[in-house]
């Protein structure tokens, strides 16, 4: 059997209103890049895309194309750098990919929302069906129109985070005392303090979760006040950068009895939980105010489950049972508001990235192919 070959595609996209994210000539003439693997059957195609990660080498590209569904691994203009990422601009980039596939003659187009791409896929289709994204959460006009967001025919959620803001609040370290000090810690709220656990008591965990939400709300209040201040200056400033320390402190990383699945104990998908939390780089560590408000803040418009409710197309959810990042409560969150609408497939033993699990990749391909043949 001939192995399908990747082709590089380059798509022109409109610059942002404030030309976020790019340098030099790319600010005025931004381009996004993708890798397409074409199936012999040209009726159905799918896009796998993440707000900032490079999905041109995604593990589903060749296997899905070999199974009969053309695959486009698409990157946004914020590739490998989400410090200025505006989710509404990523919608525009995804829309360029959908339009490209429609122009290529594909009758059916799917969005495969893998990991952080799940909330993106949901936000995209919600806006494609009922456009409201005229402004970002910072109040800036997006310059988008419904024509920029052609709708798709189905969504696949796989190892699906419910959204950047939800993940951020679940992982934010509430023991931080001083936002300017990366090492300040309230011992009573420190998940790495042996006096607290693991195992963690329900009472302590309730206090911890409430403190996480409170910290994110404080950061948003500060960000909005700072944004108003700099934009009201005699010579207005549109945006500013800042740091958010310790953003990888979910007690489930140390206590597998919380939201139990098949993940190993004491695991974070990127390494030792304490080292990752105190490390120089993690989710939301370096950001601008407008990027924080668009993706990490409680008031983001890009929440996955809330947007999925606003869509009308078929949905498949593939749940990885050994995932150290997406735990059962997150899978349940997608289902809870629309019971019975989402087709579920349990990928037993599947880790978050399916690294070294070719049989799980094959099972994922078969699940998507079978579902698509039944519902499209």
DSSP 267: -
Contact 152, 128 (CB under 8 A): yes
Q: Is the pLDDT of residue 51 over 90?
A: yes
pLDDT recorded at residue 20: 63
pLDDT recorded at residue 29: 75
Q: pLDDT band for 14, please (50, 70, 90 cuts).
A: confident
DSSP string across 200-225: PPHHHHHHHHHHHHHHHHHHHHHHHH
pLDDT recorded at residue 4: 78
> In the chain, what percentage of residues exceed pLDDT 70?
96
- Chain-wide mean pLDDT for the chain? 94
How many C-beta atoms lie closer than 10 Å to residue 281's C-beta? Answer: 9
* Span 233-256, average pLDDT: 95
pLDDT in tens, 247-302: 999 999 999 999 999 998 877 888 899 999 999 989 999 999 999 999 999 999 99
3-class SS of residue 58: coil
Token pair 């990660």: residue: 53
DSSP 2: P
pLDDT recorded at residue 25: 67
In this prediction the pTM is 0.96
- For β-strands 241-243 and 286-288, DSSP reports them as antiparallel
Phi and psi based region of residue 235 (left: phi greater than 0; alpha: psi -120 to 50; beta: remaining) = beta
Token digits of residue 15 = 């610059």
Phi and psi based region of residue 246 (left: phi greater than 0; alpha: psi -120 to 50; beta: remaining) = left
Q: Is the pLDDT of residue 191 over 80?
A: yes
3-class SS of residue 266: coil
Contact 189, 206 (CB under 8 A): no
3-class SS of residue 64: helix
What's the half-sphere exposure (Cβ side, CA atoms, 13 Å) at 206? 3
Contact 372, 318 (CB under 8 A): no
* Span 197-215, average pLDDT: 97
- Cα–Cα distance measured from residue 335 to residue 305, given in angstroms and rounded to the nearest whole number: 8
Q: Is the pLDDT of residue 354 over 70?
A: yes
pLDDT in tens, 140-174: 999 999 999 999 999 999 999 999 999 999 999 99
pLDDT in tens, 118-147: 999 999 999 999 999 999 999 999 999 999
Q: pLDDT band for 355, please (50, 70, 90 cuts).
A: very high
pLDDT in tens, 93-109: 999 999 999 999 999 99
**Omega into 198 within 30° of 0, i.e. cis?**
yes
Element (H, E) at 49: strand 44-49
Q: pLDDT band for 227, please (50, 70, 90 cuts).
A: very high
Q: pLDDT band for 369, please (50, 70, 90 cuts).
A: very high
* Span 339-349, average pLDDT: 92
With CA atoms as reference, report the closest residue to 254 among 272, 267, 236, 241.
267
């Amino acid at each position: 059997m001939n192995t399908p070959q990747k082709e590089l595609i380059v798509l022109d996209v409109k610059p942002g209103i404030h030309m976020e994210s790019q340098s030099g000539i790319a600010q005025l003439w931004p381009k996004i890049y993708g890798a397409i693997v074409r199936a012999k059957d040209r009726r159905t195609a799918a896009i796998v895309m993440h707000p900032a990660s490079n999905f041109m080498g995604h593990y589903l590209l060749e296997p899905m194309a070999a199974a009969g569904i053309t695959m486009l691994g698409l990157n946004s203009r914020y590739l490998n750098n989400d410090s200025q990422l505006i989710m509404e601009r990523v919608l525009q980039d995804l829309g360029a990919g959908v339009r490209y596939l429609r122009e290529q003659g594909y009758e059916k187009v799917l969005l495969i929302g893998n990991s952080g791409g799940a909330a993106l896929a949901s936000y995209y289709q919600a806006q494609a069906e009922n456009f409201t994204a005229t402004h970002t959460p910072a109040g800036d006009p997006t310059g988008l129109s419904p024509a920029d967001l052609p709708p798709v025919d189905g969504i696949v959620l796989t190892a699906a985070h419910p959204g950047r803001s939800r993940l951020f609040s679940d992982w934010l370290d509430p023991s931080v005392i001083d936002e300017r000090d990366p090492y300040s810690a309230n011992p009573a709220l420190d998940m790495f303090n042996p006096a607290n656990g693991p195992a963690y008591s329900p009472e302590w965990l309730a206090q911890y979760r409430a403190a996480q939400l409170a910290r994110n709300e404080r950061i948003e209040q500060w960000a909005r006040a700072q944004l108003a201040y700099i934009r009201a200056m005699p010579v207005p400033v549109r945006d500013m950068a800042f740091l958010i320390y310790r953003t990888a402190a979910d007690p489930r990383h140390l206590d597998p009895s919380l939201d139990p699945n098949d993940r190993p104990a004491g695991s974070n998908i990127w390494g030792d939980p304490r080292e990752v939390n105190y490390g120089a780089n993690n989710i939301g560590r370096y950001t601008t105010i407008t990027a924080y408000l668009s993706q990490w803040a409680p008031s983001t418009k890009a929440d996955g489950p809330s947007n999925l409710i606003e869509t009308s197309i078929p949905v498949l959810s593939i749940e990885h049972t050994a995932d150290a990042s997406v735990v059962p409560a997150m899978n349940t969150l997608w289902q809870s508001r629309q019971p019975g609408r989402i087709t579920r497939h349990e990928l037993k033993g599947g880790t978050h990235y399916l690294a070294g699990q070719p049989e799980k990749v094959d099972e994922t391909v078969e699940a998507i192919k079978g579902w698509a043949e039944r519902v499209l």
